A = this chain, B = another copy of it.
């Protein structure tokens, strides 16, 4: 008979001892073994026909970036004809924010956790000029941004890592947490810490002054969420340590694709349990409202899977205002509620107002089903039919996938 308690303690141990480090950059073709006309996407499996507008836009961008088609119309036709293979990022140990499209020629971060012997991947970021693929943009600026990252920024990062060695993301994230980042919707401190770490070494790594200035502007100036790709990669590397862990009821992945919300559970391997993606409750930028919003999307819920983001609301007074939490007390209460559905807490991420208790870690589907409390996911909100972010908020995923997973777990481990 399976010892669920022991398996879940092991899951918690693995999550807590993970020490992800940024070890390299590469192209998805090599790093992920992406061959042929294959595109990875955020969330659980989905077909071209089912995809929401932002994901279709990102697919168009990726197809044109790869040269498989020369126009958005041709890209649509190619996808509709079944000429492109789609698979979740999670099926390759990768994660992608929002639409989360990764093509073979996409430059990706490589993050490794040597303690647990895992690795994970994410696309670096969108280019420095906005027009983000993750929100469905697919114009010439988006393609130029991707090419610039591939040809200029990514090689510079690789040179720095080769000279300086891996960058310890675990300690960087712990520091950032103490500076008010919950590392999902707020990565301002972490972005600053990464910029401080990279700035001087980049000088020696980049010959062209113009390129150097553009890279430093990209890393250091423009985007408080720059670090999110690193956060997600670190969280994926940590959570990969529990994938397939026999007898554990701990969630190993939560992800959305704008249509569907899915989870995977340690003890049931790579099987997805699926529900509808939720409507995000949030604060909208001026001029936008709920009826403009796409449903919840992106692999960034890996942050909550790892015990950060919405699980760690209490650390981040600044994020309360971004996602619309009512007050500091409300944020503390959210974290305390999340502790009710978790196996334990991660001492790497102490929460000062809660007496240095760690962030709630290891979502146990048994506790979710028993209490009816689902994980809160801090998230950006995409426009449903235009390539832009229109707000941020808190997604409350459906309970059904957790129930289905528990049923499947019972069938997998009878008695």
Residue A120 CB within 8 A of the other chain: no
Tell me, in angstroms, the Cα distance from A221 to B220 when the chains sit together: 13
Residue A147 CB within 8 A of the other chain: no
Per CB-CB distance, the 4 closest pairs between chain A and chain B, nearest first, are A192-B192, A317-B352, A203-B213, A200-B217
For chain A, what secondary structure do more than half of its interface residues adopt (helix, strand, loop), or is it mixed? helix
Tell me, in angstroms, the Cα distance from A355 to B317 when the chains sit together: 10
Tell whether, in the assembled complex, residue B192 and residue A221 are in contact, meaning their CB atoms are under 8 Å apart: no
Whole-angstrom distance between the Cβ of A309 and the nearest chain B Cβ: 17
Residue A353 CB within 8 A of the other chain: yes
Tell me, in angstroms, the Cα distance from A318 to B216 when the chains sit together: 28
Partner-B contacts on A (CB < 8 A): 175, 178-180, 188-189, 191-193, 195-197, 199-200, 203-204, 209, 212-214, 216-217, 219-221, 317-318, 320, 327-328, 352-353, 355
Whole-angstrom distance between the Cβ of A203 and the nearest chain B Cβ: 4
Partner of A353, one of B175, B193, B213, B328: B328
Tell whether, in the assembled complex, residue B196 and residue A193 are in contact, meaning their CB atoms are under 8 Å apart: no
Tell me, in angstroms, the Cα distance from A343 to B337 when the chains sit together: 39
Tell me, in angstroms, the Cα distance from A189 to B180 when the chains sit together: 10
Tell me, in angstroms, the Cα distance from A191 to B175 when the chains sit together: 14
Q: Which of chain B's residues have a CB closer than 8 A to the CB of A216? A: 199-200, 203
Whole-angstrom distance between the Cβ of A345 and the nearest chain B Cβ: 16
Q: Which of chain B's residues have a CB closer than 8 A to the CB of A197? A: 220-221
Partner of A320, one of B179, B188, B352: B352
Tell whether, in the assembled complex, residue B213 and residue A200 are in contact, meaning their CB atoms are under 8 Å apart: yes
Residue in chain B with minimal CB distance to A193? B192
Tell whether, in the assembled complex, residue A327 and residue B355 are in contact, meaning their CB atoms are under 8 Å apart: yes
Given the known inter-chain contacts A179-B188, A328-B355, A352-B328, please indicate yes or no for A196 contacting B209, CB distance below 8 A: no
Q: Which of A204, A209, A317 has the most CB of B within 10 A?
A: A317
Given the known inter-chain contacts A178-B180, A318-B178, A328-B352, please indicate yes or no for A192 contacting B203, CB distance below 8 A: no
Tell whether, in the assembled complex, residue B209 and residue A203 are in contact, meaning their CB atoms are under 8 Å apart: yes
Q: Which of chain B's residues have a CB closer than 8 A to the CB of A180? A: 178-180
Whole-angstrom distance between the Cβ of A41 and the nearest chain B Cβ: 32
Whole-angstrom distance between the Cβ of A275 and the nearest chain B Cβ: 34
Whole-angstrom distance between the Cβ of A204 and the nearest chain B Cβ: 6
Tell whether, in the assembled complex, residue A179 and residue B318 are in contact, meaning their CB atoms are under 8 Å apart: yes
Whole-angstrom distance between the Cβ of A344 and the nearest chain B Cβ: 21
